[in-house]
Structure 1
Amino acid sequence: MSGDVVIEPTKEEEEAVSVQLQGKKLSWQKLGRNDSLDMESRTVSGHYGRDSKAVKWSVILQLAFQSIGVVYGDIGTSPLYVYASTFTNGINHIDDILGVLSLIFYTLTLIPLVKYVLIVLRANDNGDGGTFALYSLICRYAKVGLIPSEQAEDCDVSNFQLELPSKRLKRASRLKYKLENSQFAKYFLLVATMLGTSMVIGDGVLTPCISVLSAVGGIKEASAGMTQDKVVWVSVAIIVLLFMVQRFGTDKVGYSFAPIICVWFSLIGGIGIYNFIKYDPSVIKAINPKYIVDYFTRNKKDAWISLGGVVLAITGTEALFADVGHFTVQSIQLSMCTVTYPALILAYMGQASFLRKHSELVSETFYKSIPHSLYWPMFIVAVMAAIIASQAMISGTFSIVQQSISLGCFPRVKVVHTSAKYEGQVYIPEINYLLMIACVCVTVGFRTTEKIGNAYGIAVVFVMTLTSTLLVLIMIMIWKSNIFLVIAYVLVIMSVELGYLSSVLYKFDQGGYLPLAFAAVLMTIMYIWNNVYRRKYYFELEHKISPERVKEIAAETKFCRIPGLAMFYSELVQGIPPIFKHYVENVPALHSVLVFVSIKSLPIGKVPAEERFLFRRVEPRELNVFRCVARYGYTDARNEEEPFERMLIEKLEEFIKEDLWLCQTTISNMEIAEGDQVDELVDGETDQLDENSKLAQQENQKKAELEKQIETLDRAWRAGVVHLIGESEVVAGKGANIGKRILIDYGYNFLKRNLTQSGKVFDIPHKRMLKVGMTYEL
């Protein structure tokens, strides 16, 4: 038509299409050899990150409201104890109140608002946040993983791809090169991630202690007979009850979280305005940082020590980033800027105004500053807010342990998914009871919020500092930010955090040792498990069985094929594990269909279900032996919707059918080519035509063979599925030094004996599970 506009493709577009076609041709050639693990990963296009698609404002507003109840419980309850923890020895000068208020104002502005809301949230991993998100981004951009399980096919997973600026700078390439070629850097990144994880778990212990103890302590204002001992035991009762209901899942009471925390913020903000107007509106001048300088000039060392109390104003800030996976970046930014930040500023200003007139009441600032008529409503809401803050940290601890398991840094304890409606809500019985015991011991042992606050501050600042360290690597290497922006971040944000870190470490002997002790225990467990996990992987890699050897085993006359389908599980990605050889030497029989299933964790939050399984056929075809790589992200929930077994069988059948479809396409193309050749046939080309006919006949035979294999797979599934679990025992090899013997023979095996068996990971029925044992000498 004359009115049509023909748009010619650009040279760049033509080159891109050419590359895609070449890639497809290569994949088809591989499929002809039945040796492809990348075909499945190319079947789904697009980006699955939560923040990759536009979200309606109505949804953002709803998520922002819900996030108030989940994310801000910890930082929202900080006004209960900040001034009391800062002025532990009383207020020496009336203007010290302005100095501390100014510190709180600028700390809240710089860390939660500027650092997390404006910068760190940008470093989300396709919508997921936390220490693992930062580590996974670095692992995807630079090969810094300590397990050699990388595959080219992994880069084709839609969530795996990084959105990078087109401009590449030399310093980014140099940093990437140094990280990839430095064993120290690889270990440092892994250890930093473990340390950050351990400190967040320490938060999960300390948050219930300090929040509940501070809230319950307010009852002493209404009852003169309420001693500190009674406050402690009431707090212990609430904490025990809190942990006992964890197995029911947070979604059972989740709907009440957001309204209660909204009421809490409304009350502390409103009371703050009331106190600000009633007592001393002049505290508004604390916005001038000059009062911080005056505060340090007057108090010198004591002012520096008091920073350990000021930093409690930003406890729970890490939840802004860690919980972004349950919401969106925009919803977190909106709720922080419009509700949380203004309410906290007003609360601290109101308390400062009250203290300007009643400086002697600093140890009981929160409840003394409440109007008498609002005491009981405020007490009830404070206790509920403290419980919610504790609940959020406990749930976060469960999620972090789940992520540690996926990274091979924690024993495979039992993970229960408590909600089919809300993703990421998990419950871990062993961890729950250990946290409960630790919380009770800390509450009874420390008894006051002052000592717990010393411990709490170290855990909080350590996590923030580690987040900043990983973020600087991302800014330089992945974002390729302007070097002056990186320097400004280090000089402003990191210098503030290091100042707080130095202050909280000063109180090491006054309770500050507690989170470090927790971290030491958790780091020991993680190091032992991860170290032996890697040793096992390398052992299996060195002793793997080649497909040729499998062919030889199956061809031996003493072997018989029995009806049914067998799944042989391992974590080895490159090859067939040596434990299979041990199995066939003792059981001279193979099922009619055999699938070697390799479980693999990718450094991404989630793997779309369509891209979870990769398959490879072990030649020859009549063996009916396949290899499968099942890929999971660090937040993926297994067995949430349907059994793993059914998913794998369905995807395997799709793989066989796709192979069949490609063969049919090839046959059709050859028939068309034959027709063209007949029309243009000349002398001397008859032999070529005969050759094409033979090829077509061979392809027809292959088609019939593939149809037969689909029937064989269905028949094997109906006959029954058997799950073969490799239970490898590990011992230190002969001649090993005493350190290696303690690590493997005692440390690792002690942890292994006290954790859930691997069959629980995929909910394998015990009646259809066989365990194959073998000893590895590492």
Structure 2
Amino acid sequence: MSLEVEETPSPLKRHDSLFGDAEKVSHSNHHGSRVSWMRTLSLAFQSIGIIYGDIGTSPLYVYSSTFPDGIKNNDDLLGVLSLIIYSLIILPMFKYVFIVLYANDNGDGGTFALYSLISRYAKIRMIPDQQAEDAAVSNYQIEAPNSQLKRAQWVKQKLESSKAAKIILFTLTILGTSMVIGDGTLTPAISVLSAVSGIREKAPGLTQSQVVLISVAILFMIFSVQRFGTDKVGYTFAPVITVWFILIAAIGLYNLVTHDIGVLRAFNPMYIVQYFTRNGKDGWISLGGIVLCVTGTEGMFADLGHFNVRAVQISFNAILFPAVGLCYMGQAAYLRKFPNDVASTFYKSIPETMFWPTFIVAILAAIIASQAMLSGAFAILSKAQSLGCMPRVRVIHTSRKYEGQVYIPEVNFMMGLASIIVTIAFKTTNHIGNAYGICVVTTFSITTHLMTMVMLLIWKTHIIFIIMFYVVFGSIELIYLSSIMSKFIDGGYLPFCFALVMMSLMATWHYVQVRRYWYELDHIVPVNEMTTLLEKNDVRRIPGVGLLYTELVQGIPPVFPRLIKKIPSVHSIFMFMSIKHLPILHVVPAERFIFRQVGPKEHRLFRCVARYGYSDTLEDPKDFAVFLMDRLKMFIHEESTLTQNELEMSNNGSEVNSEAQTSSRSSRFTQTAVHSEEAIEETRRVSSSHSRRITLHLSQTIEEEKQLIDKEVECGIVYLMGEANVTAKSNSSIFKKIVVNYVYTFLRKNMTEGHKALAIPKDQLLKVGITYEI
């Protein structure tokens, strides 16, 4: 008799990555399931109201900003119109609509989305909190650079090994964010002031100061109502902006036919060459006004999270471009006949019977444009905060339907105050336009640089196309930027003031957070020393559940030894809790938590990392606790099941060995074959009985553990937080002491505290003070 011995499967392995980094992850489709055409068209309609308010109201002030000293040559209108047409085609259409929108981060766009996308392919973040489990999160999965593509691998290695490259990428990201905040501050000022200025056509007795006061009143109203949110923003705003586009397209067509249809010759780019030949330096300077025709373009990318690429492409090419293009052509046709009306081109070119309807819709469109930019600015800052690049501020999610709609009270107040001050100080759109243009072009340029990195590292595009992208768009943006910088003294300095303040705050916060993280990492308590630590301090266990919050995702934080030295007691169930924000849009609830056992099982010490995307909302404390405990029970069940499987495999292996040995004996002593079969059967019965006893015992143990958890939860949950006071070392430079001891401390004390940001009830909070010298 012969027996076939099957290969025993290798035991299941527990992979503990709380002490490791994620490197290679698999490919996944980031664009999700296909969206129906009806849904896409619906999203395209909604996008009209959310992302096109800014670029759609640009015709209010472009010509007046381009010709602040009047039109010297009538043919200059053809050159300027040609520049406007091709600027709209090259930058918003070619660059953003057909290229940049595809570099979204699981559907979300903006500067931080590009940064987070790059950070998943290369370890460029200064806080190295990547974990292998993060690669298993469905939205996180990406395709690692193929080793055969040496260029992509080389770029990845250079980025990861160069601290300077990491700092440059981070600086570009926060500069782009700061410029978007400046954009959000200046958009209400220039849009509302331009729209309100039209009233002087019917009330010439109004002074500019009175127009400014009316504008300030509207601005005050815009910023005051932000706290109510924009829950129905898509379907509420879209009809208004749609009416606006119909009006400006109709007025443009009317002026085109009535005054000079010959301006269509501007589609010939030779008029651009003639314009610069004729005007020289003055033509170059006028680019600062022309670039205002593409303001709000970054909003198409920043607000992409509400829609999809196809919806934005449809709405831009079918609605925005034709309407705005006709408006600019109509204004050029009107100015060919009435060049002296360039200071208020838009309102002068409106037919008499259409003035008041257009004026009212213009005011509404300006308000919507302001609202859209503010909403985008709040969303970007929310992402910056979740990635550790912004001091803690209270982020209020104002919509259950539209995920990206958030409101930040402190930021809203500061931006509103700045917008009103700018309006009062500058009084006209010309100076505001200079500042506005710098914000727009700087953001364009930063996106171009980050997109080039995406093409090199992630898309692995052919080098010829990468060079063409960088050279074509980079050179155009450089020309525009050089022009607008010539007006630095005349208002152009304003966005740099905004950016300097914002970048200083963000850089200071991030620098100290990085140093603090590394300090804690250098002083962690190894897990294998936990038992000794507890016994040494004679720690007793008290009823309830304790959650110690730590920013570390690996090791035991240094605040824990301090805690048990001061209060030598630990809750019956104790958990080291980390809130971690992944550089992705969402983490589905089923993938929210990862658990690890810390020390022996009887200690009931756990480490848990709660993972969120930068657009996810932290749950209510009660819901969070229920969800956390349910997942803990599931973890205990899975661990016990894994242990049972290992034991069964071990028993099966023993059984196979027994059978093999019996078979070997039977091959030598064939006369004992019957007895061998009986021995094998007896071995199987014993093994099966033993396995059932183990299974029963484990089931009882699991049930007891779950009941214990429920019992301890009833005793109460206590949230423990380390109150870290960070100071610079005594031998640090004066600059570092100022940054750490004063600027960072001021931000930490005056911004939202950690427990408030996590919405932890005060009666369940225990703070543990500790000082770090960095």
* TM-score, normalising length: structure 1: 0.92
Per mean C-alpha deviation after superposition, the further-off stretch among 513-522 and 158-167 is 158-167
Any conservation in 2 of the 1:65–1:258 contact (CA below 8 Å)? yes
Aligned mate of 1:433, from 405, 413, 434: 413
Rounded to whole Å, the distance in 2 between the matches of 1:37 and 1:740 is 32
Cα distance in 2 for residues equivalent to 1:539 and 1:676: 53
Q: Which residue of 2 aligns with 1:122?
A: 102
Equivalent residue for 2:370, pick from 374, 387, 390: 390
| Alignment partner, residue 707 of structure 2 | 711
Q: CA deviation at 1:170?
A: 2.1
Give the match for residue 7 of structure 1.
none
Q: In the alignment, is residue 589 of structure 1 matched against residue 569 of structure 2?
A: yes
In the alignment, structure 1 residue 30 sits paired with structure 2 residue 14: yes
User: Could you tell me how far apart the structure 2 residues matched to 1:235 and 1:384 are?
Assistant: 13
- CA deviation vs aligned residue, 1:95-136 (integer Å, no higher than 9, x gap): 000000000000000000000010001101110111111111
Q: Which residue of 1 is the match for residue 609 of structure 2?
A: 629
Q: 2:266 is paired with a residue of what secondary structure?
A: helix
Residue 399 of structure 1 aligns to a residue whose secondary structure is helix
Q: Does 1:741 align with 2:721?
A: no
1:214 aligns with 2:206: no
5 Å-filtered alignment, 1:358-397, equals 358-397=338-377
Conservation of the 8 A alpha-carbon contact between 2:49 and 2:233: no
Letter in 2 for 1:190: F
Show the 5 A alignment for 1:691-730.
704-730=700-726
Give the greater-gyration-radius structure (CA).
Answer: 2
Report the CA distance between 1:713 and its aligned residue. 1.4
Shift of 1:762: 2.3
Q: Is the 8 A contact 1:38 1:614 kept in 2?
A: no
- Name the CA distance, whole Å, in 1 between partners of 2:271 and 2:219: 40
The 1:641/1:548 distance shift into structure 2, 3 A limit, reads closer
Question: Which residue of 2 is the match for residue 504 of structure 1?
Answer: 484
Q: Which amino acid aligns with 1:749?
A: T
1:615 is matched with 595
Q: CA deviation at 1:714?
A: 1.6
Q: CA deviation at 1:761?
A: 2.4
**SS in structure 1 of the partner of residue 139 of structure 2:** helix
- Is the aligned partner of 1:88 residue 2:62? no
In structure 2, how many angstroms separate the alpha carbons of the residues matched to 1:447 and 1:423? 36
Tell me how far 1:643 sits from its aligned partner. Answer: 2.9
Structure 2 residue 746 is matched with structure 1 residue 750: yes
Q: Kindly state the Cα deviation for residue 775 of structure 1 after the two structures are TM-superposed.
A: 1.0
Mark the runs of 5 or more structure 1 residues left unpaired by the alignment.
1-17
- Higher mean displacement: 601-610 or 266-275: 601-610
* Superposed counterparts of 1:103-118, under 5 Å: 103-118=83-98
3-state SS, counterpart of residue 339 of structure 1: helix
1:253-292 equivalent positions in 2, closer than 5 A: 254-292=234-272
Task: Give the Cα separation in 2 of the matches to 1:570 and 1:181.
Answer: 28
Per-residue CA distance 1:636-676 (angstroms, 9 max, x = gap): 22227973222222221211111223234445555666666
State the TM-score, normalizing by the size of structure 2.
Answer: 0.92
Is contact 2:285-2:484 (8 Å) kept? yes
Deviation of the 1:589 alpha carbon = 0.8
- Shift of the alpha carbon at 1:72? 0.4
Structure 1 distance, partners of 2:236, 2:17, is 51
Residue of structure 2 in register with 1:329 after alignment: 309
Shift of 1:621: 0.3
Alignment check: 8 A CA contact 1:283 1:349 kept: yes
Q: Percent identity?
A: 50
The residue matched to 1:773 in structure 2 has which SS? strand
Equivalent residue of 2:120, what SS? helix
* Structure 2 residues not aligned, in runs of 5+: 1-6, 666-678
CA contact (8 A) 2:620 2:759 kept: no
Corresponding residue of 1:235: 215
Letter in 1 for 2:316: M
- Return the alpha-carbon distance in structure 1 between the equivalents of residues 720 and 317 of structure 2: 53
Q: What letter matches 1:186 in structure 2?
A: K
User: Which whole-Å CA distance do the structure 2 matches of 1:388 and 1:138 have between them?
Assistant: 32
Other structure's SS at 1:160 match: coil
Contact 1:667/1:696 (CA < 8 Å) preserved in 2? Answer: no
Q: 1:554·1:623 contact (CA, 8 Å) conserved in 2?
A: no
Task: Give the conservation status (yes or no) of the 8 Å contact 1:599–1:630.
Answer: yes
Identify the match of residue 38 of structure 2 among 58, 74, 99: 58
Please show how residues 59-74 of structure 1 align to structure 2 within 5 Å. Answer: 59-74=39-54
Deviation at 1:188, TM superposition (A): 0.2
Give the equivalent residue in structure 2 for 1:661: 641
Amino acid in the other structure paired with 1:179: L
Instruction: Work out whether residues 664 and 703 of structure 1, in 8 Å CA contact, stay in contact via their aligned partners in 2.
Output: no
Which aligned pairs between 1:12-51 and structure 2 lie closer than 5 A? 28-30=12-14, 35=16, 49=30, 51=31
Matched, 1:732 2:728: yes
Q: Taking structure 1 as reference, are residues 46 and 304 closer, same or farther at Cα in structure 2, changes over 3 Å only?
A: closer
Task: Give the secondary structure class of the aligned counterpart of 2:719.
Answer: strand
Once the 2 structures are TM-superposed, how far is the Cα of residue 434 of structure 1 from its aligned partner? 0.6
3-state SS, counterpart of residue 352 of structure 1 = helix
Contact 1:30–1:36 (CA<8 Å) still a contact in 2? no
Shift of 1:36: 6.4
- Distance in 1 (alpha carbons) for counterparts of 2:597 and 2:704: 15
* Matched-pair contact (CA < 8 Å) for 2:644–2:694: no
Match of 1:199 among 161, 167, 179: 179
Q: Which residue, 760, 771, 774 being the options, matches 1:775?
A: 771
Letter in 2 for 1:574: Q
- Are 1:164 and 1:479, in contact at CA under 8 Å, matched by a contact in 2? no
Counterparts of 1:432 and 1:445, CA distance in 2:
20
After superposing the two structures, state which structure 1 stretch, 382-391 or 216-225, moved more: 216-225
User: What is aligned with 1:11?
Assistant: none
1:550 deviates by 2.1
Q: Deviations over 1:609-643 (max 9, x none)?
A: 21121110012000000001111222222227973
Given that 2:146 and 2:153 are in contact with CA atoms closer than 8 Å, whether structure 1 keeps it comes out as no
Q: CA deviation at 1:680?
A: 6.4
Pair 1:178-2:158 in alignment: yes
Q: Which amino acid aligns with 1:227?
A: T
Q: Which residue of structure 2 aligns with residue 762 of structure 1?
A: 758
Q: Distance in 1 between matches of 2:554 and 2:326?
A: 59
**1:402 and 2:382 correspond:** yes
Which sits farther off after the overlay, 545-554 or 209-218? 545-554
Q: Specify the code of the residue in structure 1 equivalent to 2:752.
A: T
For residue 595 of structure 1, give the secondary structure of its aligned residue in structure 2. strand
In 2, are the aligned partners of 1:667 and 1:700 still within 8 Å (CA)? Answer: no
Residue from 453, 463, 466 that aligns with 2:446:
466
Change (3 A) 1:461 1:688: farther
Q: Report the AA paired with residue 89 of structure 2.
A: T
Cα separation, partners in 2 of 1:310 and 1:588, compared to 1, 3 Å = same
1:158 paired residue number: 138
Q: Deviations over 1:565-620 (max 9, x none)?
A: 01110111121110111111111111000010112222212222211211100120
* Aligned residues between the structures: 749
- Cα deviation digits, residues 177-200 of structure 1 (max 9, x gap): 211111110000000000000000
Structure 1 position 224, deviation (Å): 1.8
Match of 1:451 in 2: 431
